[in-house]
Structure 1
Amino acid sequence: MGESPATIYDVATLAGVSIATVSRAINAIDSVRPSTRDRVLAAMEQLEFVPNSVARGLSSGKHWILGLVFMRASVESGVLGVEEASLLYTDIVIRGAESRAAELGYSLLLSSSDDTHPSNMSSILNLTGAVDGLILLDRVLKDDDVASLAKKTPVVLLSGSGECPTAVTVRVDNEQAMRSLAEHLVEAHDITQVGFVTGSNESPDSVARTLAFTTAITELGGQVNACDVLVSDWTSAGGESAMQARLERGEPLPQAFACANDQTAVGVIYALNARGIKVPDDIVVTGFDDITLTRYFNPPLTTIRQSGSILGEVAVDALVALLDDPDGAKATIVLPTQLVVRASCGCAKDLEPARLAQGELANAGGAT
Structure 2
Amino acid sequence: MSKKVTIQDIADALGLSRNTVSKAINNSGILAESTRRMVLSKAKEMGYKQFAYFDPSVLTKEEPAAAPVVHPAKANIALFTAKLLDNAHFASSMLRTANEIFEQMGFHLVIYNLSAADIAARRLPPSFSLDTTAALVCVEIFNYDYAKMLCELDLPVVFADAPVNNIMQSLNAALLEMDNRSGIYQFIGHAVSCGKKTFGYVGDAMHCQSFYERYSALKGACNYHGVSRSCIHNVTGNLPASDTIHTYRDYLTDSFRAMKEIPEVLVCANDFAAFDAIDALRSLGYKVPDDVWICGFDDSQRSRYFTPRLTTIRINGAAMGRTLVDLIIRLMERRDYSCKTFYVESSLILRESSGEIP
TM-score, L = length of structure 2: 0.69
Between the aligned residues of both structures, percent identity stands at: 22
Larger Rg: 1
Whole-angstrom distance in 2 between the partners of 1:239 and 1:345: 22
Give 5+ residue unaligned stretches, structure 2.
1-68, 240-245
Whole-angstrom distance in 2 between the partners of 1:328 and 1:286: 33
Deviates more, 1:336-345 or 1:143-152: 143-152
Q: CA deviation at 1:224?
A: 5.3
Q: CA deviation at 1:265?
A: 0.5
Question: Is structure 2 residue 210 aligned with structure 1 residue 205?
Answer: yes
SS in structure 1 of the partner of residue 201 of structure 2:
strand
Q: CA offsets, 1:31-84, max 9 Å, x none? A: xxxxxxxxxxxxxxxxxxxxxxxx9636xxx612111111135xxxxxxxx9x6
Whole-angstrom distance in 2 between the partners of 1:124 and 1:181: 46
Structure 1: which amino acid aligns with 2:289?
Answer: P
Q: Is the 8 A contact 2:257 2:284 kept in 1?
A: no
Question: Is structure 2 residue 286 aligned with structure 1 residue 281?
Answer: no
SS in structure 2 of the partner of residue 222 of structure 1:
coil
Whole-angstrom distance in 1 between the partners of 2:256 and 2:277: 11
Deviates more, 1:159-168 or 1:338-347: 159-168
Structure number with higher relative contact order (C-alpha < 8 Å, ≥ 6 residues apart): 2
Whole-angstrom distance in 2 between the partners of 1:285 and 1:272: 11
For 1:34, the equivalent position in structure 2 comes to: none
Question: Is structure 2 residue 305 aligned with structure 1 residue 301?
Answer: no
Structure 2: which amino acid aligns with 1:94?
Answer: L
SS in structure 2 of the partner of residue 202 of structure 1:
coil
Q: Is the 8 A contact 2:70 2:107 kept in 1?
A: no
Show the 5 A alignment for 1:211-360: 211-223=216-228, 227-232=233-238, 239-249=248-258, 251-327=260-336, 331-347=340-356, 349-350=357-358
Q: CA deviation at 1:289?
A: 0.4
Q: CA deviation at 1:143?
A: 6.1
Whole-angstrom distance in 2 between the partners of 1:304 and 1:177: 6
Whole-angstrom distance in 1 between the partners of 2:174 and 2:259: 46
Q: Is the 8 A contact 1:194 1:257 kept in 2?
A: yes
Question: Is structure 2 residue 84 aligned with structure 1 residue 70?
Answer: no
Question: Is structure 2 residue 157 aligned with structure 1 residue 155?
Answer: yes
Whole-angstrom distance in 2 between the partners of 1:301 and 1:104: 38
Q: CA deviation at 1:231?
A: 2.5
Q: Is the 8 A contact 2:172 2:339 kept in 1?
A: no
For 2:101, the equivalent position in structure 1 comes to: 100
Whole-angstrom distance in 2 between the partners of 1:104 and 1:287: 36
TM-score, L = length of structure 1: 0.67
SS in structure 1 of the partner of residue 181 of structure 2:
helix
Structure 1: which amino acid aligns with 2:315?
Answer: Q
Q: Is the 8 A contact 1:259 1:287 kept in 2?
A: yes
Which of 166, 170, 174 lines up with 1:168 in the alignment? 174
SS in structure 2 of the partner of residue 338 of structure 1:
strand
Structure 1: which amino acid aligns with 2:317?
Answer: G
Question: Is structure 2 residue 206 aligned with structure 1 residue 195?
Answer: no
Task: Compute the RMSD of aligned alpha carbons.
Answer: 3.0
Count residues in correspondence.
278
Show the 5 A alignment for 1:76-91: 86=88, 88-91=89-92
Q: CA deviation at 1:100?
A: 2.0
Question: Is structure 2 residue 120 aligned with structure 1 residue 114?
Answer: no
SS in structure 1 of the partner of residue 125 of structure 2:
helix
CA change 1:56–1:336 in 2 (3 A) is: closer
Whole-angstrom distance in 1 between the partners of 2:203 and 2:315: 17
Q: CA deviation at 1:186?
A: 1.5
Q: CA offsets, 1:68-106, max 9 Å, x none? A: 111135xxxxxxxx9x665x4443333222112112221
SS in structure 2 of the partner of residue 174 of structure 1:
coil
Whole-angstrom distance in 1 between the partners of 2:187 and 2:130: 41
CA change 1:148–1:112 in 2 (3 A) is: closer
Which of 101, 104, 123 lines up with 2:125 in the alignment? 123
Structure 2: which amino acid aligns with 1:57?
Answer: H
